[in-house]
């Protein structure tokens, strides 16, 4: 889908033609829309479609007549019935006084722009527009990381209760998500450094301050991802230790119960042997069965009490 916007301060309104000062937003575009933008602005078709490839790496590419900045953005995802995040490429192309954004799905950061919720956004200033997107994207990563940490704390609150398979899968998905986000953040950091050093993609002093803020926020997101990954790794270890302790407790109790039940089994086995009753204690007594039964119960009770005192039952 191709959407055209222009800034009529203080609002962002729809535009009718693709000309200087217009933002062309391509979201999961058709080939005809890509060809129209490429022909109108003189952009190589392969560069325009690069962001639609989910495996495309983050980079900065400066060509005659246009500049391409490709970086990763976070989006919500569901894996194994667990709400997580993933990243997809977003391409921002500065060409002919226009800004072109290309992505394969709807992105929160672009929705924020399209709804006019970003102050001082001006499509007539392509470089400032790019810096605004980079800055907001770093903040989006931080929000995604904070969401992951909140889910991790929810898992921790359930550690005292029996851990379910869903909890273990959820912890694994959160850890995997942090790996994806960390990798994308490091790629974005390289892009930000390339943009900062680029002569073609340089704005005013005020714009440079915005880029510096984007670099700082992206670095902070990298540190957050590393901290949260370490915490989740510790939480997963805690899950394993708690489950192992519970298993040991269950095995200990089962062993104690087996030991108690072995006493009547042994007594019954001895008196069930085919031997002369004359040599079996209480075998010929009038109340021999009751006495043997009572003695067995008493021995079992004493053993059970001793195991209970030793916290083995």
- The 3-state secondary structure of the chain reads CEEEEEEECCEEEECCCCCCCEEEEEECCCHHHHHHHHHHHCCCHHHHHHHHCCCCCCEEEEECCEEEEEEEEEEEEEECCEEEEEEEEEEEEEECCEEEEEECCCCHHHHHHHCCCCCCCCCCCHHHHHHHHHHHHHHHHHHHHHHHHHHHHHHHHCCCCCCCHHHHHHHHHHHHHHHHHHHHHHHHHHHHHHHHHCCCCCCCHHHHHHHHHHHHHHHHHHHHHHHHHHHHHHHHHHHHHHHHHHHHHHHHHHHHHHHHHHHHHHHHHHHCCCCCHHHCCCCCCCCHHHHHHHHHHHHHHHHHHHHHHCCCC
Q: How far apart are CA 2 and CA 40, in angstroms?
A: 13
Counted domains in the chain: 2
Q: What's the pLDDT score for residue 274?
A: 67
CA distances from 211 to 21, 111, 170, 243, 287 (A): 21, 21, 36, 47, 96
Contact call for residues 4 and 23 (beta carbons, < 8 A): yes
Q: What's the pLDDT score for residue 175?
A: 83
Q: Kindly state whether residues 74 and 149 are assigned to the same domain.
A: yes
Q: What's the pLDDT score for residue 185?
A: 92
pTM above 0.85, yes or no: no
Measuring CA to CA, which residue among 202, 224, 220 is closest to residue 211? Answer: 202
Q: Kindly state whether residues 271 and 230 are assigned to the same domain.
A: no
* CATH code of 259's domain: 1.20.58
Q: What's the pLDDT score for residue 160?
A: 64
Q: Kindly state whether residues 219 and 260 are assigned to the same domain.
A: no
Q: What's the pLDDT score for residue 117?
A: 66
Q: How far apart are CA 123 and CA 42, in angstroms?
A: 19
Q: Kindly state whether residues 58 and 110 are assigned to the same domain.
A: yes
Q: Kindly state whether residues 305 and 210 are assigned to the same domain.
A: no
Q: What's the pLDDT score for residue 199?
A: 78
Q: Kindly state whether residues 18 and 102 are assigned to the same domain.
A: yes
Last residue in a domain, options 245, 266, 294? 245
Backbone angles phi, psi at 65, to 5 degrees: 95, -15
Q: Domain containing 285: what range?
A: 247-309
Q: Kindly state whether residues 148 and 49 are assigned to the same domain.
A: yes
Structure-block tokens of residue 86? 């993933």
Q: Kindly state whether residues 236 and 251 are assigned to the same domain.
A: no
Q: What's the pLDDT score for residue 82?
A: 67
Q: Kindly state whether residues 270 and 142 are assigned to the same domain.
A: no
Q: What's the pLDDT score for residue 70?
A: 92
Measuring CA to CA, which residue among 267, 253, 190 is closest to residue 222? Answer: 190
pLDDT by position in tens, the chain (length 313): 888 888 877 777 778 888 888 888 888 888 888 888 888 888 888 888 888 888 888 888 888 888 889 999 988 877 766 677 888 899 998 888 888 888 888 888 888 777 766 667 777 788 888 888 899 899 999 999 998 888 888 877 777 666 566 777 777 788 888 888 999 999 999 999 998 888 778 877 777 888 899 999 999 999 999 998 888 888 777 777 777 887 888 888 888 888 888 888 888 887 777 677 677 777 777 777 888 888 888 888 888 888 888 887 7
Last residue in a domain, options 245, 265, 292? 245
Q: Kindly state whether residues 285 and 239 are assigned to the same domain.
A: no
Q: What's the pLDDT score for residue 217?
A: 93
Q: How far apart are CA 297 and CA 264, in angstroms?
A: 8
Q: How far apart are CA 226 and CA 263, in angstroms?
A: 57
Q: Kindly state whether residues 115 and 84 are assigned to the same domain.
A: yes
Q: How far apart are CA 304 and CA 259, in angstroms?
A: 9
Q: How far apart are CA 240 and CA 237, in angstroms?
A: 5
Q: Kindly state whether residues 209 and 252 are assigned to the same domain.
A: no
Contact call for residues 219 and 168 (beta carbons, < 8 A): no
Q: How far apart are CA 34 and CA 306, in angstroms?
A: 80
CA distances from 224 to 138, 143, 150, 179 (A): 12, 11, 13, 12
Last residue in a domain, options 245, 278, 299? 245
* CATH code of 106's domain: 3.30.460.20
| Cis amide prior to 10 (ω within 30 degrees) | yes
Structure-block tokens of residue 43? 């952009």
Contact call for residues 295 and 263 (beta carbons, < 8 A): no
């Amino acid at each position: 889908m191709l959407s055209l916007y222009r800034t009529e301060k203080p609002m962002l309104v729809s535009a009718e033609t693709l000309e200087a000062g217009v933002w062309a937003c391509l979201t999961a575009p058709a080939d005809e829309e890509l060809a129209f933008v490429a022909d109108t602005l003189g952009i190589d078709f392969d560069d325009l479609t690069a962001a639609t490839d989910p495996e495309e790496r983050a980079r900065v590419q400066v060509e005659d007549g246009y500049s391409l900045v490709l970086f990763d953005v976070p989006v919500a995802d569901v894996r194994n019935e667990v709400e997580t995040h993933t990243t997809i490429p977003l391409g921002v192309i500065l060409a002919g006084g226009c800004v072109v954004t290309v992505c394969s799905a709807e992105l929160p950061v672009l929705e924020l722009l399209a709804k006019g919720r970003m102050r001082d956004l001006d499509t007539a200033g392509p470089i400032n527009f790019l810096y605004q997107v980079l800055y907001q994207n770093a903040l989006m990563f931080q929000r995604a990381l904070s969401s992951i940490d909140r889910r991790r704390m929810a898992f921790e609150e359930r550690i005292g209760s029996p851990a379910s398979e869903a909890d273990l899968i959820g912890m694994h998905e959160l850890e995997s998500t942090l790996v994806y986000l960390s990798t994308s953040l490091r790629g974005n950091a390289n892009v930000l450094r390339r943009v900062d050093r680029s002569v073609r993609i340089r704005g005013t002093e005020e714009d440079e301050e915005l880029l510096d803020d984007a670099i700082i926020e992206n670095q902070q997101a990298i540190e957050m991802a590393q901290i949260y990954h370490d915490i989740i790794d510790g939480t997963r270890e805690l899950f394993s230790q708690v489950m192992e302790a519970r298993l040991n407790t269950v095995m200990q109790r089962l062993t104690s119960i087996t030991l108690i039940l072995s006493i009547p089994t042994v007594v019954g086995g001895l008196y069930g042997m085919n031997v002369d009753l004359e040599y079996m204690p209480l075998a010929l007594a009038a109340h021999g069965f009751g006495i043997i039964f009572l003695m067995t119960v008493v021995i079992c009770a004493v053993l059970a009490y001793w195991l209970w005192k030793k916290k083995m039952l």
